[in-house]
Amino acid sequence: MKNKILIIGASGSIGLEVAHRLIDKNLHVKIAVRDPEKAKKMNLKNTEFVKFDYFDSDTFDSTFENVQKLLLVSPPSYFGIQDKVINAIESAIKNEVELIVNISAISIESELDKPMKAIEEHIKKSGVAHVFIHPNVYMQNFNDLFRDLIISEEEIAIPADSAKVSFVDVRDVADVAVQTLLEDNLKNNTFNLTGKQALNLHVIAYLFSEALNKEINYKNISEDVFKKLLQSANWPSGTITGTLQLCEHIKNGKIDFITNDIQKILNKEPIKFQQFINDYIDIWK
């Protein structure tokens, strides 16, 4: 019986948040991973793990077996594997998946994100029911990427000039994703998810200073200096590439707009940046 929701990309923050929400609703969740045994350490109850690899098409049929709906977290554009992703999508359609919810990025129309755009265009042309979710830069990047700098250097050093961003909380995006998986009236739509405020890094540093009761400064640095800083911190090369691309999107000033899609779908205002800091306050202490 086709009654399962498959998540491809559950090891990342947004995929994992969605998985927890679906599991809490006692839904049949299937998670595609490279190593099912290792994935059991994620401690997700009542969840089926299935071996899946974009580079091994022999894993596709078992992955999509009995899957009614697919949540796909598109790989970052710099991976350059859109053809592999499209092959997996074709297998999903062949196995009669009824709905594909794809999470990509609000910058999808940019030159840098052509690979992500190609994935969505293929889904749309296939005729399968779909929802495209385009979140802006995640607030949680300050947890995952910049925590150590905030703690040790008491500064946010990023090549972002004074450009503004309508940062969005991963938790809001996960809530929206769950709704699009469960509500038929949201099918065949694209949602651009932003916060309620467009803030530059000077304001972000001020909000951190207020919450932590110590001065946190924003330092606008060059991309070369930033890259060397990340290399000295032993960041993986792929993470460095993705972070530099993220900064490029911020600097070009095209992701500062605000939408009301979160309000429309969730019937509540998006989480504000100050609330995000307060909710995770122990991380920066």
DSSP string, 1-56: ---EEEEE-TTSHHHHHHHHHHHHTT--EEEEES-HHHHGGG--TTEEEEE--TT-
Q: Residues 278, 280, 282, 285: what is their CA dihedral angle, to the nearest 10 degrees? A: -80
- 4-135 is a CATH 3.20.130.10 domain: no
Q: Would you state the structure tokens that stand for residue 149, as one six-digit string?
A: 């700098």
Q: Is the pLDDT of residue 66 over 80?
A: yes
Q: State the average pLDDT for the chain.
A: 92
Mean pLDDT of 109-128: 94
The whole-number average pLDDT for the span 186-209 is 96
Calculate helix-pair angle for 223-232, 237-251, nearest 10 degrees: 150
Amino acid of residue 191 = F
The residue extents of the domains of the chain are 4-135, 142-164+196-257+267-284
Highest mean pLDDT among 115-129, 147-161, 235-249: 115-129
> With bands split at pLDDT 50, 70 and 90, how would you rate the model's confidence at 262?
very high
pLDDT digits 0-9 by tens, 16-39:
999 999 999 999 999 999 998 888
Q: How many CA atoms lie within 13 A of 33 on its CB side?
A: 20
Angle formed at CA 282 by CA 280 and CA 285, multiple of 5 degrees: 125
* Residue pLDDT, tens place only, 211-259: 999 999 999 999 999 898 888 878 888 888 888 888 888 888 789 999 9
Q: Kindly give, in sequence order, each residue whose CB lies less than 8 Å from that of residue 184, ignoring residues fewer than 6 positions away.
A: none
Residue 90: partners with Cβ closer than 8 Å, 6 or more residues away: 126
The answer to whether 117 touches 109, Cβ cutoff 8 Å, is yes
pLDDT-derived band at 1, boundaries 50, 70, 90: low
pLDDT for position 249: 85
Confidence band of 180 (pLDDT split at 50, 70, 90): very high
Looking at residue 170, its pLDDT comes to 97
The fourth-level CATH superfamily of domain 142-164+196-257+267-284 is: UDP-galactose 4-epimerase, domain 1 (3.90.25.10)
Q: How far apart are CA 145 and CA 149, in angstroms?
A: 9
Widest distance between CA atoms in the chain: 57
